[in-house]
Chain A
Amino acid sequence: MTDIKIRNVSKIFGGSWKAALAMTQQGADKGEILARTGCSVGLDNVSLDIPGGRIFVIMGLSGSGKSTLVRHINRLIEPTSGEILVDGSNVLDLKPKDLRDFRNRRVSMVFQNFGLMPHRTVLQNVVYGQRVRGLTKVDAKPIGMKWIETVGLAGYENKFPHQLSGGMKQRVGLARALAADTDVILMDEAFSALDPLIRADMQDQLLQLEKNLHKTIVFITHDLDEALRIGAQIAILKDGKLVQVGTPNEILNSPANDYVARFVQRRAGAGEPHHA
């Protein structure tokens, strides 16, 4: 089980990031920094402990920096400052080759729009991580087939992505992440493009996987219901700042500020029976 520690990570997009970074340290807000330096603040001094073996949900509205944050864990985005420790070692120290190895063996990822390779079959997509590792087609096939069966796509292994429905495509994305056999799986709005029924189904499947495989899953969503349903812990981001971290109960019962309270309230309202 792998734990992830994010330490004081800031990300500034734009040329004059030094000035912008200094302004964030003086507590200036996002709009002011954009107006004065032309830089946009992706993340503002975020620190987070993600324990191993559970589903950790990062929640926030679009533009809150959640996708940016999760891409720091496998360094698809480089932070402006701060460090990211996976099992105690700093990801930022990795050389290009070690970084590829780290991405290949330690962390896999599921994408919102699936990110499947349209010219490869389901099986070829699923075993991509293994093939990059240098496994032959023949050796990779049983691994791929196992995970294709696990996500319920047996019989579709030779189809191409464009022949599948959205829900099936995301199952392929999930199978690809699982077949890479990494301790950590990052899921960036993985279920947002799916319709509600399939979505609930996929959530169940994910909970099942958490129970059976003890993987560290970092799950991003903008949907509170989804967060409460699957998260062992939830972190809430707003404008690149961390607002609150806690278990679903803590978030529901003791919101840290108005922003979280408003989130929770709307849900409480929606949850009330329509006919008393």
Chain B
Amino acid sequence: MFPEAFHISIRGPINDFVQSLVVNYGFVFKAISQTLLQAILFVEWILRGLPWWAVFLVFLALAWAASKKVSLVVTVAVMLFVVGALGLWDLTMQTLALMLIASLISVAIGVPMGIWLAKSELMRRITLPVLDVMQTMPSFVYLIPAIMLFGLGKVPAVLATIIYAVPPLIRLTDLGIRQVDGEVVEAATAFGGSPTQILFGVELPLATPTIMAGLNQTIMMALSMVVVASMIGARGLGEQVLNGIQTLDVGKGLEAGLGIVILAIVLDRITQGFGQMSRKERGND
């Protein structure tokens, strides 16, 4: 047994801290929660309000723009058709709305953070271990306080998804910018480019394929959080899976699971397509 004398606990202070946050700053979190909820509901309203063929067209157009390959367009069409045929269309749209918002916020946080890490060695040293913690900490550990602060439902689900899914985007943005050929940056500097001109004119465009790979990872990880998110009241495909498990309805669970897989494949192929295209433009393959 480990000696009692060395026993320390951070339980009490942490509990008190979260408690006091809820009591004293509840209104702040409520305001954030409301804003976020409005955004999620808006996207959901659009996706669920659109006729199915309009969503189809958008996806097919994206698939074409990402790859210029008929094969991908056909694959995406077939997959989306399967989702609809399995009766999962509405649920898929709900999940997609959650994914879109989580990915959008992840980009808004992840890309600037990645740039900061690439520019500052100190920031990098501080952040990388934090990212490791974010990725390995079991998600329920931060889901519970998230519920305490933001209430049940979509908002804590989105936040938990972001915490889990944003690290790869930060890492790969950082990596992408660091990998930009030093001589090219030196040349831009030598011709009088300002830090902003170099960032937006040289570093970010050249890092785009790597950043796209990061975005792809982020979306995939976000999708893997769908079931967990449904446990705290987010609706959509995850809820259906959960339902299936709880009622021992294996078929129902599998159907919804298939929907998640299909959504993952479709989003993966489209984002990968965009990444490869920007790589080709650079002439690296």
Chain A residues with CB under 8 Å of chain B are: 74, 76, 100-105, 107-109, 111-119, 128-129, 132-133, 160-163, 176, 180, 186
Q: In the bound complex, do residue A162 and residue B188 qualify as a contact, i.e. CB atoms below 8 Å apart?
A: no
Chain B residues with Cβ under 8 A from A115's Cβ?
Answer: 181, 183-184, 186-187, 190
A114 to B283 CA separation, bound complex (whole angstroms): 16
Given contacts A105-B192, A119-B281, A163-B283, 8 further A-B contacts (CB under 8 A): A103-B189, A103-B190, A104-B192, A109-B190, A115-B186, A117-B184, A118-B284, A186-B190
Partner of A76 from B181, B184, B190, B193 at Cβ < 8 Å: B190
Partner of A162 from B181, B192, B283 at Cβ < 8 Å: B283
A179 to B183 CA separation, bound complex (whole angstroms): 19
Q: Is B282 an interface residue (CB 8 A)?
A: yes
Q: Within residues 166 to 199 of chain B, which ones have a CB less than 8 A from any CB in chain A?
A: 181, 183-184, 186-194, 197
Q: In the bound complex, do residue A76 and residue B186 qualify as a contact, i.e. CB atoms below 8 Å apart?
A: yes
Q: In the bound complex, do residue B192 and residue A119 qualify as a contact, i.e. CB atoms below 8 Å apart?
A: no
Given contacts A111-B183, A111-B187, contact A132 B193 (CB under 8 A): yes
Chain A residues with Cβ under 8 A from B282's Cβ?
Answer: 118-119, 162
Q: In the bound complex, do residue B193 and residue A118 qualify as a contact, i.e. CB atoms below 8 Å apart?
A: no
Chain A residues with Cβ under 8 A from B190's Cβ?
Answer: 74, 76, 103, 107-109, 115, 186
Chain B residues with Cβ under 8 A from A160's Cβ?
Answer: 283
Closest to B189 in A: A76
Minimal beta-carbon separation of A154 from chain B (angstroms): 21
Chain A residues with Cβ under 8 A from B281's Cβ?
Answer: 119
Q: In the bound complex, do residue B189 and residue A104 qualify as a contact, i.e. CB atoms below 8 Å apart?
A: no
Q: Is B227 an interface residue (CB 8 A)?
A: no
Closest to A125 in B: B187
A112 to B206 CA separation, bound complex (whole angstroms): 20
Chain A residues with Cβ under 8 A from B244's Cβ?
Answer: none
Minimal beta-carbon separation of A163 from chain B (angstroms): 7
**B205-233: contact bitstring with A at CB < 8 Å (1 yes, 0 no)?**
11000000000000000000000000000
| Smallest CB-CB A-B distances: 10 pairs | A104-B192, A162-B283, A115-B187, A103-B192, A109-B190, A115-B183, A129-B191, A100-B192, A119-B205, A118-B282
Q: Is B47 an interface residue (CB 8 A)?
A: no
Given contacts A132-B197, A162-B283, A163-B283, contact A116 B184 (CB under 8 A): yes
Q: How many residues of B contact A (CB 8 A)?
A: 20
Q: Could you list 25 examples of A-B contacts with CB < 8 Å?
A: A74-B190, A76-B189, A76-B190, A100-B193, A100-B194, A104-B191, A105-B192, A108-B191, A109-B187, A109-B190, A115-B186, A115-B187, A115-B190, A117-B187, A117-B202, A119-B282, A128-B188, A128-B191, A128-B193, A129-B191, A129-B192, A132-B191, A132-B193, A133-B192, A180-B191
Minimal beta-carbon separation of B282 from chain A (angstroms): 5
A74 to B197 CA separation, bound complex (whole angstroms): 18
Minimal beta-carbon separation of B200 from chain A (angstroms): 12
The secondary structure that dominates the A interface is: mixed
A230 to B72 CA separation, bound complex (whole angstroms): 57
A163 to B283 CA separation, bound complex (whole angstroms): 8
Chain B residues with Cβ under 8 A from A176's Cβ?
Answer: 191
Minimal beta-carbon separation of B280 from chain A (angstroms): 10
Partner of A103 from B181, B191, B206 at Cβ < 8 Å: B191
Given contacts A118-B282, A160-B283, A161-B283, contact A111 B186 (CB under 8 A): yes
A161 to B205 CA separation, bound complex (whole angstroms): 15
Q: Which of B191, B194, B282, B284 has the most CB of A within 10 A?
A: B191
A118 to B193 CA separation, bound complex (whole angstroms): 16
Chain A residues with Cβ under 8 A from B183's Cβ?
Answer: 111-115
Closest to A101 in B: B192
Minimal beta-carbon separation of A119 from chain B (angstroms): 5
A104 to B187 CA separation, bound complex (whole angstroms): 11
Closest to B283 in A: A162
A128 to B188 CA separation, bound complex (whole angstroms): 8
Q: In the bound complex, do residue A117 and residue B191 qualify as a contact, i.e. CB atoms below 8 Å apart?
A: no
Chain A residues with Cβ under 8 A from B191's Cβ?
Answer: 103-104, 108-109, 128-129, 132, 176, 180
Chain A residues with Cβ under 8 A from B197's Cβ?
Answer: 132
Chain B residues with Cβ under 8 A from A105's Cβ?
Answer: 192
A118 to B184 CA separation, bound complex (whole angstroms): 9
Closest to A74 in B: B190
Minimal beta-carbon separation of A44 from chain B (angstroms): 24
Chain B residues with Cβ under 8 A from A128's Cβ?
Answer: 188, 191, 193
Minimal beta-carbon separation of A23 from chain B (angstroms): 28
Closest to B190 in A: A109
A117 to B283 CA separation, bound complex (whole angstroms): 11
Chain B residues with Cβ under 8 A from A108's Cβ?
Answer: 190-191
**B268-285: contact bitstring with A at CB < 8 Å (1 yes, 0 no)?**
000000000000011110
Chain A residues with Cβ under 8 A from B205's Cβ?
Answer: 119
A128 to B190 CA separation, bound complex (whole angstroms): 11
Partner of B187 from A100, A116, A162 at Cβ < 8 Å: A116
Minimal beta-carbon separation of A103 from chain B (angstroms): 4
Closest to A106 in B: B192
